[in-house]
Amino acid sequence: MTTEIGERDWEEWSETFWQALQTQGEVETKSESSIKLYAPNKQPTTITYYRKFDPKVHDHTNPFHAPVTEAKSLYQGGFPRSGKHIEMSLKGSDVTYETGDYLAVWPKNLDTHVEALGTRLGLDINQYFSIAKDSILLENFPPCFPNPITIRETFSQYCDLTLPPKRFTIQCLAPFATQKEEREKLERLADAKQTTQADYEAQFYNKDFATILNDFPSVKLTLQEALELIPSARFRYYSISSASQQFPDSVHVTMCRKSVGPPDNCKISLCATYLDQLKAGDLCPIHVTKSEFKLPPKELKLPIIMVAVGTGYAPMRGFLQQRVLEENHENMLFCGYYHKNQDFIYREEVEQLYVPTSLLLCFFQQSLKCIFPFGYGIDAWATGFQSSQDTSESPRPPDQPGSGKYKREVSISPSPHWSPNQFQGSFRVFTSYLYCLLS
């Protein structure tokens, strides 16, 4: 909400700013094309790069194309989300990581979106083009952006064809409509005073750039104009779900996509859709980013408590692997779920590998707030957690939607490393802390 207000403020401010400068004659809005299209089927003889980078170093300037070695579904049938466990090989690269680090994934757009945009703009997407070295357009792209490059590769890897357009972009698009009605409609939609956010979203959200243009057939754009308007692609972070000591040559990702359906016919989500389509043998552009999210030093032999819902378990999986290697067996995991048989990810691994030796596992249903319903003291809950299975009915807390009763289901797996007293003590401290945070 705060972001939306911030963005609208910025758009209103920038609109006035640019209008004022143009009135003063301070800015030139039309520029010579800085793009040179190659003849069809003609290939460039040399490729240059706008900014210097070391091709052997893989970081935010230049990703490593990691071979996917495994990609398997995380959720059981019927759960209305799609999730994948993906393993990628780091062999032969300079890419290393520590348990708890983040993997930056450089997403690619769906081929259908890339091809639709080429068709809409009347371009042969297999054609090469180059951008003049002094063009400001190059600043949209990372140093590894090759120049010349094909239109297909640019649209696919360096543009975000699904990010909802900002009002400022729509305002810039309006003059390109050759039909008066379309131009006026675009101007109206771009103006927050004339179009509510809900109406704006209904017009532009959940559409790729070609579909947005197709709604305004009289809009004509050159390749340069399209590249100036489309936001450049940015990498997305994923918690690494493997321990570096156990898997030094590979990196695991645990990804969740909020909606399911055919990739080109469901709620748009660029990187999750891209990851969801990956299969063994594909190459995925990545780099590693350091994180502060780390385990306490192993020598301290501290017990740890982890709380996770869904893919929030990703970093915990890496931590658990590392804790077992370090022979730190006092680990407690509070794991949230909606439907235990469908969305308890890595269930077999957790139950068979960790619970018997190193993990005290506690489930809670729905959201964290469900374990703190009004009318239930923390002690009562701590005591409740001591039983191995508790499925009693509880009144629905006032902040939960709906009415009547909801099922309180909590289950705990016994652990050889936690005595009931130790568990109850740690749990009380932990729940008191959480209670303070949530209330």
Is there a contact between 8 and 201 (Cβ–Cβ < 8 Å)?
Answer: no
Q: Measured from the CB atom, is 199 or 379 closer to ligand FAD?
A: 199
> How far from 360 is each of 32, 305, 328, CA to CA, in Å?
66, 9, 13
Interface ranges with ligand FAD (CB under 6 A):
102, 107, 162-164, 205-207, 236-239, 254-256, 258, 267-272, 311, 314
**Nearest distance from residue 267's CB to ligand FAD, in Å?**
5
Q: Measured from the CB atom, is 37 or 105 closer to ligand FAD?
A: 105
Q: Measured from the CB atom, is 128 or 238 closer to ligand FAD?
A: 238
In Å, how far from its chain's centre is CA 144? 22
**Nearest distance from residue 276's CB to ligand FAD, in Å?**
9
DSSP, res 374: T
What's the angle, vertex CA 109, arms to CA 61 and CA 312, rounded to 5?
75
Q: Classify 39 as helix, strand or coil.
A: coil
**Nearest distance from residue 173's CB to ligand FAD, in Å?**
15
**Nearest distance from residue 107's CB to ligand FAD, in Å?**
6
Alpha-carbon span 341 to 74, nearest angstrom: 12
> How far from 302 is each of 67, 89, 132, 177, 426, CA to CA, in Å?
37, 32, 58, 65, 12
Alpha-carbon span 246 to 10, nearest angstrom: 47
Q: Measured from the CB atom, is 131 or 256 closer to ligand FAD?
A: 256
Alpha-carbon span 212 to 279, nearest angstrom: 30
| DSSP class per residue in 106-150 | -----HHHHHHHHHHHT--TT-EEEE-TT-GGGGGS-TT-EESEE
**Nearest distance from residue 206's CB to ligand FAD, in Å?**
4
Is there a contact between 204 and 268 (Cβ–Cβ < 8 Å)?
Answer: no
Q: Measured from the CB atom, is 128 or 346 closer to ligand FAD?
A: 346
**Nearest distance from residue 60's CB to ligand FAD, in Å?**
14
Q: Measured from the CB atom, is 184 or 215 closer to ligand FAD?
A: 215
Locus of tokens 């197709």:
214
Q: Measured from the CB atom, is 149 or 256 closer to ligand FAD?
A: 256
Q: Measured from the CB atom, is 256 or 332 closer to ligand FAD?
A: 256
Q: Measured from the CB atom, is 263 or 397 closer to ligand FAD?
A: 263
**Nearest distance from residue 241's CB to ligand FAD, in Å?**
7
**Nearest distance from residue 425's CB to ligand FAD, in Å?**
31
**Nearest distance from residue 115's CB to ligand FAD, in Å?**
18
In Å, how far from its chain's centre is CA 318? 19
Strands 389-390 and 393-395: unpaired
Q: Per DSSP, which regions of 303-376 are E strands?
A: 304-309, 331-337, 359-365
Token representation of residue 296: 């306490």
